[in-house]
Amino acid sequence: MDENPAFKVGDQLILQGSDFSELIVRLKAAAYRVVGPMVRDGCIVFDEISGVEDLPAGFGDNQDAATYRLRQCDDMALFGYNNGPQSVKRFLYTPQREIWKARRNRKTVSIHLPDTEPVKTAFLGVRPCDLNAVLIQDRVFTRGEYLDDDYNKRRENSLIIVVNCTEAGKTCFCSSMNTGPRATAGFDLALTEILHADHHYFLLEVGSDRGLSIVAGMPCDHASDQQLRTAAESVTRAADNMGRSIDASGLKELLIRNIDNVYWDSVGHRCLTCANCTMVCPTCFCSTVEDTTDLTGNTAHRIRRWDSCFTMDFSYIHGGSVRPSAKARYRQWIIHKLASWHEQFGTSGCVGCGRCITWCPVGIDITEEARAIRQRDIRPAEVSETMEV
Amino acid sequence: MVPKKEKKKAKLAVWKFASCDGCQLSLLDCEDELLAVADAVDIANFPEASRAIVKGPYEISLVEGSITTPHDAERIHRIRRASKFLVTIGACATAGGIQALRNYTDVREFTSAIYASPKYITTLQNSTPITDHIPVDLELRGCPVNKYQLIEVVSAYLNRRKPNVSPYSVCIECKLRGHNCVMVARGTPCLGPITHAGCDAVCPGFDRGCYSCFGPKETPNTRAMAERFEEMGVSADDLVRMFRSFNAEADEFRKESIIHERQD
Ligand code: SF4
Ligand code: SF4
Ligand code: SF4
Ligand code: SF4
């Protein structure tokens, strides 16, 4: 075995299961904080890990609308689970952040910006759908007129290690959204875990120079054709077992012309307007700004906090909320995700991760709602001009 | 804009009606901030802290407790007249409190069972929230209130800004905190989706369902919530109990609880 082959970006390598811990060691040696999957309080969550022993070896999950249960698997795969409630969003676009702080001293007011040098972070175990969600948030926060400084800095300091899916969950539909189960671009490193009775290894794809700097000198071989085939087959198995699907053809036009469909009343009766769907969605980017002071009024803080189109305040203007009904709020969410997002950012706002289905307390299913509208499609001639809320 | 020092301090009064004093105690519990509060306002009336009563009018009145006696139904009007900014604090003041459970029974049965001479007891049949009697400027929810929200309201008033007390669901706080959802991941019934935020999702953080200490959120869909609980196997009796606890007289909860009452 050639111990130090000169790897390059685009290479497809084999990393033995027994050498996997070396990857984490190298990330840490390169001063990365490593954030990855771990079991906590009955779920697989994303948090800082100290080593390979923190990964959820042997854990999987059963998911369906409004249900998530951790389960023990027969094998010891490190990544044999599907997405948990959290995504990379929590780290790149934090739930709450101070924007500035102001102090009043006698006659002057001084404004202090937070010290926002983010820690270099490696995200290990990002699923292809979530990688695509990051690429979508990149469009929102790093391009165009409105840039998010904090997001940009965190993003620049991040390294993404994708793990392709070899099993799909019951609420997954990335195949329909073209975001998985295999990542094709945008990662620094991508892994596909292969577990046979007697052999545990990873196909390791090098996606960027940053990724290359980590694997350079690692004990890897180039993948053989047979190994590449095995990895491809594993990913195909996931694609063939998608729990859900959505018919994306003409979806945008369909939803927009059905804005007055009476069917929305049905979802309005079921929806709790609790906002869980937007909180867990890896692409939802809405936030609100809050100002606070201390009692003396000598210090003030401005913070940014995740917000949701399911709250009344979200659409509050003089005189009241524009979307007082649950029906109007659900319709806003699904139309933004699947339709108007295209106009804003040139892409769908949904990557098919299935979280909004699993984590909705009453199991409202975005794929079912889209299907229901398609079945009750109003022909263009019937579309009225008014939009009632 | 730097205001002149030596401004006259605002007078703050705390008033007690039918309640357990827990909300007033939240103010005393502000330890670190208590001195700052005492610095920022003149505490004119605060039964839990001192017997001294300073004469009105009061800039800020914090009203704890519900109305359960004819005398209190009178007294609350006098307090309203003497107060500029009146905030009701806690589940008793905003939704009748746990004592509003009597609204579903005949209160005379209790008085005759408990008191030797029930004829000396003057009490109203129902325990009602303060808003049933007078206009209220702000309602602060919780059983008890969250002390940080209490300080936030006082501080917002003193600094003439909008208080940050969001009326959305506990689920939003739960997700901001990064808790795993006990409804979805454990199958534990949780009232968080229809409950007013403010507690920072304490119970889900300890793997428990939300009991709705803060009462109904804005636009609470109690019907869909109860239907989901039924699917999860919650009995009709338990549904009545879930909707009839600390906020038994909150309109939406009262209506939902009646739907599940057994007719026997
Ligand atoms: S809308 Fe639902 S399925 Fe689509 S990306 Fe968001 S959470 Fe995932
Ligand atoms: S769906 Fe709602 S919360 Fe999500 S990005 Fe759109 S408006 Fe914001
Ligand atoms: S769709 Fe589900 S998760 Fe989203 S607001 Fe409605 S009830 Fe909550
Ligand atoms: S645990 Fe309760 S409060 Fe938290 S998200 Fe789930 S339903 Fe909402």
Provide the pLDDT confidence category of residue A1 given band limits of 50, 70 and 90.
very low
Q: Is the pLDDT at A138 greater than 80, yes or no?
A: yes
Residue A318 falls in which region: left (phi positive, over 0), alpha (psi -120 to 50) or beta: beta
B154 and B181 co-located in one domain: no
Measured in whole angstroms, the distance separating CA B132 from the mean position of its chain's CA atoms is: 14
Q: pLDDT by residue (tens digit) across B192-222?
A: 999 999 999 999 999 999 999 999 999 999 9
B66: tokens are 């519900």
Chain B hits for A310, CB-CB cut-off 8 Å, are 168
What pLDDT, on the 0 to 100 scale, is given for residue B50?
Answer: 72
Distance A243 CA to ligand 3 centre (A): 20
Q: Is residue B214 part of a domain?
A: yes
- What 3-state class would DSSP assign to A320? strand
Distance B65 CA to ligand 1 centre (A): 44
Q: Is the pLDDT at B15 greater than 90, yes or no?
A: yes
d(CA A47, CA A55): 10
B65 and B115 co-located in one domain: yes
d(CA B254, CA A127): 45
Count Cβ atoms within 10 A of the Cβ of residue B163 and give its class: 0-12 exposed, 13-18 middle, 19 or more buried: middle
Q: pLDDT by residue (tens digit) across A176-192?
A: 999 999 999 999 999 99
Return the minimum-mean-pLDDT range out of A328-342, A365-379, B25-39, B249-263: B25-39
Q: pLDDT by residue (tens digit) across A12-34?
A: 999 999 999 999 999 999 999 99
B15 and B82 co-located in one domain: yes
What pLDDT, on the 0 to 100 scale, is given for residue A144?
Answer: 85
Q: Is residue B26 part of a domain?
A: yes
Q: Is residue B2 part of a domain?
A: no
B135 and B175 co-located in one domain: no
B102 and B145 co-located in one domain: yes
Out of B135, B158, B181, a domain closes at B158
Q: Is residue B253 part of a domain?
A: yes
Distance B186 CA to ligand 2 centre (A): 27
Residue A214: phi and psi, rounded to 5, are -80, -40
Taking the CA of residue B171 as reference, the ligand 3 atom at the shortest distance is 8
B21 and B74 co-located in one domain: yes
Residues of the domain holding B221: 170-261
B188 and B255 co-located in one domain: yes
- The side-by-side arrangement of strands in the sheet containing A158-163 is A43-48, A33-40, A121-126, A158-163, A189-196, A199-206, A12-16, A221-222
Chain A hits for B207, CB-CB cut-off 8 Å, are 41-42
| Contact yes or no for B176 and A95 at CB 8 A | yes
Q: A 63-82 residues with CB below 8 A of B?
A: 66-70
Q: What is the DSSP string of A182-231?
A: S--SS-SEEEEEEEETTEEEEEEEE-SHHHHHHHTTSS-EEPPHHHHHHH
Greatest C-alpha distance within chain A: 75
Q: Is the pLDDT at B3 greater than 60, yes or no?
A: no
Out of B158, B179, B208, a domain closes at B158
Q: Is the CB of A274 under 6 A from ligand 3?
A: yes
How much of chain B exceeds pLDDT 70, in percent?
A: 97
B256 and B234 co-located in one domain: yes
What pLDDT, on the 0 to 100 scale, is given for residue A382?
Answer: 53
Q: Is residue B142 part of a domain?
A: yes
| Contact yes or no for A279 and B171 at CB 8 A | yes
What pLDDT, on the 0 to 100 scale, is given for residue A3?
Answer: 46
Q: Closest to B218 (Cβ–Cβ): which among A40, A312, A359?
A: A312
Q: pLDDT by residue (tens digit) across B171-190?
A: 999 999 999 999 999 999 99
Average pLDDT, chain B: 93
Q: Is the pLDDT at A222 greater than 50, yes or no?
A: yes
Report the pocket of ligand 2 as residue ranges, CB < 6 Å: A 278, 284-286, 308-309, 333, 336-337
Out of B124, B158, B192, a domain closes at B158
What pLDDT, on the 0 to 100 scale, is given for residue B44?
Answer: 87
Any A CB within 8 A of B191 CB: no
Q: Is the pLDDT at A203 greater than 70, yes or no?
A: yes
What pLDDT, on the 0 to 100 scale, is given for residue B1?
Answer: 46
Provide the pLDDT confidence category of residue A47 given band limits of 50, 70 and 90.
very high
Taking the CA of residue A357 as reference, the ligand 1 atom at the shortest distance is 2
Q: Is residue B165 part of a domain?
A: no
Q: Is residue B196 part of a domain?
A: yes
Q: Is residue B226 part of a domain?
A: yes
B91 and B204 co-located in one domain: no
Q: How far is A238 from chain B, CA to nearest CA, in Å?
A: 23
Distance A295 CA to ligand 4 centre (A): 32
Q: How far is A318 from chain B, CA to nearest CA, in Å?
A: 15
Q: B 219-238 residues with CB below 8 A of A?
A: 219-221, 223-225, 227-228
Q: Closest to B164 (Cβ–Cβ): which among A67, A292, A362?
A: A292
B78 and B181 co-located in one domain: no
Any A CB within 8 A of B100 CB: no
- Please check whether residue B145 is in contact with residue B91, taking contact to mean a CB–CB distance below 8 angstroms: no
B58 and B109 co-located in one domain: yes
Which one-letter DSSP state was computed for residue B8? P
Residue closest by Cα to atom 6 of ligand 1: A281
| Count of domains for chain B | 2
Residue B39: CATH number of its domain: 3.40.50.700
Residue closest by Cα to atom 1 of ligand 1: A350
B94 and B121 co-located in one domain: yes
Q: Is the CB of B189 under 6 A from ligand 4?
A: no
Complex ipTM more than 0.90, yes or no? yes
The stretch B160-175 carries a mean pLDDT of 97
Residue closest by Cα to atom 8 of ligand 1: A353
